[in-house]
Structure 1
Amino acid sequence: MAFYDRSPGDLWQAHAACRGPEAFLFFAPTHFEKKEEKISRETRAKMICDSCPVRGDCLDYALAIREPHGIWGGLTEQERRVRLARQTG
């Protein structure tokens, strides 16, 4: 497993397309979210990821630290778990 420094020195994060007013799309809300709302939110977040210049770095980071929440690198928590299982299986 790679070591990642979580300090502000992670320059790729400064270039992430998810930084800004729609950052809330990348994580589940604190209130109940209907299935349709979740699908819509995740689809919108993934659309932002599609044009992100650091999408690969983001996904690599999330996989390396086993990030359990949110959309990172265009993948949901479940999609990342499946990818990790395939890599280790």
Structure 2
Amino acid sequence: MDWQRDAACADTDDPDLFFPISLNGPGARQVERARAVCRRCPVAVRCAEWARETHQRSGVWGGVSVEPENYGR
């Protein structure tokens, strides 16, 4: 997981930004802000791959938000 030290989110003051409570309303705006960080991230693809490989259940990983209907997949 050496790639994490190169992640754009490693410099953020608000790690909760990447874990919205909802994907609707204010949560949707939060997801967009998280994705903006991911768009400038040099390891976004690796981050999204890692989230899939490790079956992450919540959060925005590499610009991809984990949807509740995908839990357990």
TM-score (norm 1): 0.68
Which runs of no fewer than 5 residues in structure 1 stay unpaired? 1-9
| RMSD between superposed Cα atoms in Å | 2.1
Distance across 2 between alignment mates of 1:40 and 1:46: 10
The Cα of 1:35 is off from its aligned counterpart by 2.9
The Cα of 1:69 is off from its aligned counterpart by 1.1
Q: Percent identity?
A: 29
Q: Does 1:56 align with 2:45?
A: yes
Number of aligned pairs?
69
Alignment of 1:9-24 (within 5 A): 10-19=1-10, 20-24=12-16
Distance across 2 between alignment mates of 1:62 and 1:24: 16
Q: Which has the higher strand share?
A: 2
The Cα of 1:23 is off from its aligned counterpart by 1.9
The Cα of 1:58 is off from its aligned counterpart by 0.2
Distance across 2 between alignment mates of 1:34 and 1:73: 16
List structure 1 segments (4+ residues) > 4 angstroms apart after TM superposition.
none
TM-score (norm 2): 0.81
Distance across 2 between alignment mates of 1:27 and 1:41: 9
Alignment of 1:20-35 (within 5 A): 20-29=12-21, 35=24
